[in-house]
Amino acid sequence: MADRILIIEDEEKIARFIELELLHEGYEAVKCSDGRTGLQQAESGDFSLVLLDIMLPELNGMEVLRRLRRSSDVPVIMLTARDAVMDKVAGLDQGADDYITKPFAIEELLARIRLVLRRRSYNSQDAGHNTPDDLLRCGELTLSESHHEVKYAGTEIELTGREFDLLNTLLINKNIVLSREQLLGKVWGYDYMGETNVVDVYIRYLRSKIDEVFGISLIQTVRGIGYVIRDEHE
Ligand code: CA
């Protein structure tokens, strides 16, 4: 069954453009042009994902998100204005799953949609199989988000909050190469003034606590692209 995506965006041209691209990709799409109607639609439970603009008539996007999160955990990607760093931070704090800055390349939006939907189906599979809580795994390495616990072959690894978030993001996207910019956006939540080398620094921290200690190479560099976590034996 096709994923249904709700577009809450008052700029008709943008909404129409996104709608056509989504239909082309095989999704179903529904448009709403104000926050109030958008919230009602989003709360209906009929959607796999919501694209939410911030500047909206009736109710702004932040308020829509805040109210929506009282009753629903449907994935939300915020559409933010360029350089509105505070919007991005606030959106992620309010429970948005990702954000994209306008104007955006449609390919980037589609990639983010795929990623969020994949993460979602992974999580629900997990729940369906009744695995012990939310354990993510790569080889002998396991991470439990609810217990905030990382282990290698049963040995606990102490990580700082940021290291934990970075590892968590890599594991959610296991076998998928993520660029520094993607990691920065997902882990640090905003553009960080283009300082993507902060990602390299934290990758080094993780390697020194995991790969070097246990003599493995799970966290891999893909030259010119970014990083991926993978276990060659899986
Ligand atoms: Ca708008």
What are the structural domains of the chain? 4-120 (3.40.50.2300), 128-229 (1.10.10.10)
Separation of CA 50 and ligand 1 centre (Å): 15
Cβ proximity of 149 and 156 under 8 Å = yes
Cα–ligand 1 centroid distance for 36 (angstroms): 13
Q: Decide: 199 and 183 in contact? Cβ < 8 Å.
A: yes
C-alpha 111 to ligand 1 mean position (Å): 22
Q: Is the pTM of this model over 0.95?
A: no
**pLDDT tens digits for range 6-63:** 999 999 999 999 999 999 999 999 999 999 999 999 999 889 999 999 999 999 999 9
| Cα 195 to Cα 113: distance, rounded to the nearest angstrom | 25
Sole residue written with tokens 């209906």: 44
Strand 76-81 relative to strand 49-53, pairing: parallel
Q: What DSSP element (H or E) covers 213? A: helix 211-214
Render pLDDT for 181-207 as a digit per residue (tens, 0 to 9): 889 888 887 555 556 678 898 999 999
Ligand 1 centroid to Cα of residue 182, in Å, is 24
**How many whole angstroms from 160 Cα to the centroid of ligand 1?**
38
Length of the chain: 234
**Using H for helix, E for strand and C for coil, what is the string for 68-113?**
HHHHCCCCEEEEEECCCHHHHHHHHHCCCCEEEEECCCHHHHHHHH
CA 54 to ligand 1 centroid distance, Å = 6
E strand residue ranges, 114-218: 136-138, 141-144, 149-152, 155-157, 178-179
Residue 27: both structure tokens together: 């999704």
Q: pLDDT by residue (tens digit) across 93-117?
A: 777 888 888 888 898 899 889 888 8
Alpha-carbon span 188 to 162, nearest angstrom: 8
| Ligand 1 ion: Cβ-proximal residues, 5 Å cutoff | 10, 53, 55
Residue 99 CA, ligand 1 centroid: distance in Å: 14
* 130 band by pLDDT with thresholds 50, 70 and 90: very low
Asked whether the beta carbons of 38 and 64 are under 8 A apart, the reply is: yes
